[in-house]
């Protein structure tokens, strides 16, 4: 028997097929203009090699979960991230999740249940969308800005508002500040936002970083340096929410 978890995020739809012990199949594709259509596409891809009667439950999470008309249950991404990361590393007690449109800090207990959480405000500051928009100003994108920033001294990006940060980057480029320094500055500003939210919460025991931005080496390095601690990063950091939804669906 299997369960399916689908996390409909602002930037990507993530899906996991789970057999109660391990991830059998996983998929990450851009959300595009229709979370409903893309979520359905992920679902159809995950079930193409199995019979529908082999699926115990399909659970949806993420901001786009309300659009999924084919799921059995809707669960908040906070609960799903807790279950997902606890499955990957049961020593984790604090999660920093940076998604496409928000930042969350989640505290979990020894059973993997949520004890407390904090979220940033509605502004896109410090999120994946912030990185996507600002990196475009450097003729780069979210996938190669890490390489662009590597080893560079971060230029100060004083504004965390996406619109004002764009203007600030344009001004820096006009002053012949290197793209490498600006790229490092953008990543540093995201690290600062994450550290600020973590400082408002309580970091207990081991800390994990989840979300697509956890794949950015320079961001992880800056966070670890600013926090003076190692951070757990899973190779499945981007699909933690979908994994947690699948785990909930299997029970």
How many other β-carbons are positioned within 10 Å of the β-carbon of residue 110? 11
The string of pLDDT tens digits covering residues 99-121 is 888 889 999 999 999 999 998 86
**In contact, 105 and 118? CB cutoff 8 Å:** yes
The string of pLDDT tens digits covering residues 136-176 is 889 887 778 889 999 999 999 877 677 788 889 999 999 99
pLDDT level of residue 195 (50, 70, 90 thresholds): very high
1-89+238-251, superfamily in CATH?
A: ATPase, nucleotide binding domain (3.30.420.40)
Are 1-89+238-251 and 93-233 in the same CATH fold?
Answer: yes
Distance, in Å, from the CA atom of 4 to the CA atom of 18, rounded to the nearest integer, reads 6
Which fold is adopted by the domain 93-233?
Answer: Nucleotidyltransferase; domain 5 (3.30.420)
Parse the chain into domains and list their residue ranges: 1-89+238-251, 93-233
Quote the pLDDT of residue 116.
94
pLDDT level of residue 188 (50, 70, 90 thresholds): very high
Closest CA to 125 of 96, 157, 173: 157
């Amino acid at each position: 028997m299997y369960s399916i978890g689908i996390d409909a995020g602002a930037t990507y739809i993530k899906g996991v097929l789970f057999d109660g012990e391990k991830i059998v199949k996983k998929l990450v594709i851009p959300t595009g203009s229709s979370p409903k259509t893309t979520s359905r596409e992920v679902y159809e891809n995950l079930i193409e090699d199995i019979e529908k009667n082999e699926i115990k439950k399909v659970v949806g999470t993420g901001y786009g979960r309300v659009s999924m008309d084919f799921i059995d249950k809707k669960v908040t991404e906070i609960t799903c991230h807790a279950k997902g990361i606890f499955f990957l590393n049961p020593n984790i007690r604090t999660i920093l999740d940076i998604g496409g449109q928000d930042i969350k800090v989640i505290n979990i207990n020894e059973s993997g249940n949520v004890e407390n959480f904090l979220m940033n405000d509605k502004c896109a500051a410090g999120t994946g969308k912030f990185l996507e928009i600002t990196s475009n100003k450097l003729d780069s994108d979210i996938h190669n800005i890490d390489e662009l920033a590597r080893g560079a001294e971060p230029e100060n990006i004083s504004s965390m508002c996406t619109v004002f940060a764009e203007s600030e980057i344009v001004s820096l480029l006009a002053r012949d500040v290197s793209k490498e320094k600006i790229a490092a500055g953008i990543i540093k500003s995201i690290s600062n936002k994450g550290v600020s939210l973590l400082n408002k919460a309580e970091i207990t025991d081991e800390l994990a970083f989840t979300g697509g931005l956890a794949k950015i080496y320079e961001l992880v390095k800056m966070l670890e340096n600013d926090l003076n601690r190692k951070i757990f990063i899973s190779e499945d950091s981007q699909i933690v929410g979908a994994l947690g939804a699948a785990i909930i669906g299997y029970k």
